[in-house]
Amino acid sequence: MRCEVLAVGTELLLGQIVDTNSSWIGEQLALAGIDSLFQTKVGDNAERIADCLRLALGRSDAVIVCGGLGPTQDDITRDVIAEVMGVELRLDPAIEHRIRTMFESRFRHMPENNLRQAMVPEGASTMAEMPGTAPGLVCPIGDQVVYAVPGVPYEMKEMVLGTVLADLQRRAGVRNVIRSRTLRTWGHSESGMAELLAPYHDELEQSGRCTLAYLASGIEGLKVRLTVKADTEDEARQVLDDETRLVCSVLGDVVFSTDDVPMEQVVLDLCRRLGLTLGTAESLTGGLIASRLTAVPGASDVFRGSVVSYASEVKYDVLGVPRGPVVTEDAAAAMAEGACRVLGCDVSVAVTGVAGPAEQEGLPVGTVFLATCVGGEAAAVPVRLPGDRERIRQFATISVLNLLRQRLLAEA
């Protein structure tokens, strides 16, 4: 069974929207044991969409068409699919009712052009999942099938996970369980990590019990994905547990999560387990650390608050930093101490540095000082971070949280 992805939307070609849908769908197909060899993007043009769809059906058993199911004139995916199927569109009364009910429940008038979304090709069926006003479509064409899903990511994901993957596996006769686990790391380059894991990688290749892939994720660090195919869920889980322990034994504490949890959540969970409250003092990051921490549900029982001390006077007057240069190790350490005092928290992190566009106090862009305060003792380190202003700020955020994580683990 081969399935390919056809993403529809002129905005994708113009770079106005990044096509993350296709990459996510490709990942899900791999995890489901479905071969996927092609992904295509095409603009909102009926003739070109039809050409791409016919090309896809000429080389694949199934096609997932993503986008073009909205209510406006440029949403023509359903029309093109009907053309390729050689059938007419019909109004589905049940879908019409669902759309009208959605609008009524929000006390809104339904524009009549929304009825376009209730038009279904003859012989096609709609998907049970319908989080928005666009139904997903399952369109058989002989022994092949075309799935049409909305371009809105959360709507698309619900349909792919709920209907598309199960239907593909049924058609393909896939009975194996394919499961993956993502380990998140911070502190190693991809080449350095590959070198450390080279003997283990060779052993895996020979045994065939598991596959390993590196996923460079920028400011989120480097991910290591383990994938296993097994006869049962229990067998897959056991293999993943064994291989996770082995990888962690090789890489050490650069692995901060074995279940794809982000750094900020790991730090909050660790503080919670140790009964500690947390605060931040931020200059260069301007509240970015606090923003990421508070984005985690339930952070309020650990996170006390943040002092965004962007101006030097705020560092002096609020945090108690000694007057003088504010882009130094000593200043960062004083900021961390001040955060614990001002916010009444047990531990803290602090950041000061030069994000650009020009050097500051004689220091080049990317010079950053990271500090932690634990048990009343502050410690700071200098780092040189790469990239533009935004990347430096993001790298500083995950780096200082990682320093706190490592220090808490060492002192626990």
Q: How confident is the model over 42-65, as a mean pLDDT?
A: 97
Q: What is the pLDDT of residue 127?
A: 97
Q: Could you tell me if 209 and 301 lie in one domain? A: no
pLDDT band of residue 193 (cuts 50, 70, 90) is confident
Strand partners, 62: 3, 145
- The CATH number of the domain holding residue 58 is 3.40.980.10
pTM, two decimals, is 0.77
Q: Which of 61, 81, 57 is nearest to 69 (CA)?
A: 81
- The CATH number of the domain holding residue 286 is 3.90.950.20
Asked which of 257, 291, 317 is the last residue of a domain, the reply is: 257
Q: What is the pLDDT of residue 398?
A: 95
Q: Tell me which residue range forms the domain holding 181.
A: 177-257
Give the CA count within 13 Å in the CB-facing half-sphere of 241: 6
Q: Could you tell me if 13 and 76 lie in one domain? A: yes
Q: Could you tell me if 10 and 135 lie in one domain? A: yes
Query: How big is the chain by its Cα radius of gyration, in Å?
Result: 26
The more confident residue out of 251 and 205 is 251
Q: What is the pLDDT of residue 397?
A: 96
Q: Could you tell me if 195 and 282 lie in one domain? A: no
Q: How confident is the model over 245-251, as a mean pLDDT?
A: 92
Q: Could you tell me if 133 and 186 lie in one domain? A: no
Q: How confident is the model over 168-197, as a mean pLDDT?
A: 88
203 pLDDT above the threshold of 80: no
Q: What is the pLDDT of residue 338?
A: 98
Contact 53, 21 (CB under 8 A): no
Q: How confident is the model over 34-41, as a mean pLDDT?
A: 95
Q: Which of 365, 370, 340, 337 is nearest to 352 (CA)?
A: 370
Q: Could you tell me if 96 and 165 lie in one domain? A: yes
Contact 156, 233 (CB under 8 A): no
Q: Could you tell me if 32 and 112 lie in one domain? A: yes
Q: Could you tell me if 222 and 267 lie in one domain? A: no
Contact 196, 188 (CB under 8 A): yes
How many domains are there within the chain? 3
Q: What is the pLDDT of residue 178?
A: 83
Note the maximum CA span of the chain. 78
Averaged confidence pLDDT in the chain? 93
Percent with pLDDT over 90 in the chain: 80
Rounded Cα distance, 34 and 90, in Å? 31
State the pairing for strand pair 278-282/347-353: parallel
pLDDT band of residue 40 (cuts 50, 70, 90) is very high
Q: How confident is the model over 238-246, as a mean pLDDT?
A: 93
pLDDT band of residue 216 (cuts 50, 70, 90) is confident
Q: What is the pLDDT of residue 364?
A: 95
The single-letter code of the amino acid at 45 is N
Asked which of 230, 257, 284 is the last residue of a domain, the reply is: 257
3-state secondary structure the chain: CEEEEEEECHHHHCCCCCCHHHHHHHHHHHHCCCECCCEEEECCCHHHHHHHHHHHHCCCCEEEEECCCCCCCCCCHHHHHHHHHCCCEEECHHHHHHHHHHHHHCCCCCCHHHHHHHEEECCCEECCCCCCCCCCEEEEECCEEEEEECCCHHHHHHHHHHHHHHHHHHHHCCCCEEEEEEEEECCCCHHHHHHHHHHHHHHHHHHCCCEEEEEECHHHCEEEEEEEEECCHHHHHHHHHHHHHHHHHHHHHHEEECCCCCHHHHHHHHHHHHCCCEEEEECCCCCHHHHHHHCCCCHHHCEEEEEECCCHHHHHHCCCCCCCCCCCHHHHHHHHHHHHHHHCCCEEEEEEECCCCCCECCECCCEEEEEEEECCEEEEEEEECCCCHHHHHHHHHHHHHHHHHHHHHHHC
Q: Could you tell me if 39 and 124 lie in one domain? A: yes
Cβ within 8 Å of residue 268, ≥6 positions away: 278, 293, 296, 298, 299, 302, 303
Q: Could you tell me if 340 and 406 lie in one domain? A: yes
- The CATH number of the domain holding residue 186 is 3.30.70.2860
pLDDT band of residue 362 (cuts 50, 70, 90) is confident
Instruction: Express each pLDDT in 92-143 by its tens digit.
Output: 999 999 999 999 998 889 998 899 999 999 999 999 999 999 999 999 999 9
Asked which of 232, 257, 282 is the last residue of a domain, the reply is: 257
Rounded Cα distance, 286 and 270, in Å? 24
pLDDT band of residue 201 (cuts 50, 70, 90) is confident
Instruction: Express each pLDDT in 271-302 by its tens digit.
Output: 999 999 999 999 999 999 999 999 999 999 99
Q: What is the pLDDT of residue 145?
A: 98
Q: What is the pLDDT of residue 202?
A: 77
Rounded Cα distance, 71 and 73, in Å? 7
Q: Could you tell me if 246 and 312 lie in one domain? A: no
Q: Could you tell me if 49 and 89 lie in one domain? A: yes
Instruction: Express each pLDDT in 294-315 by its tens digit.
Output: 999 999 999 999 999 999 999 9
Q: What is the pLDDT of residue 160?
A: 96
Q: What is the pLDDT of residue 231?
A: 86
Instruction: Express each pLDDT in 6-33 by its tens digit.
Output: 999 999 999 999 999 999 999 899 888 8
Neighbours of 206 (CB within 10 A): 7
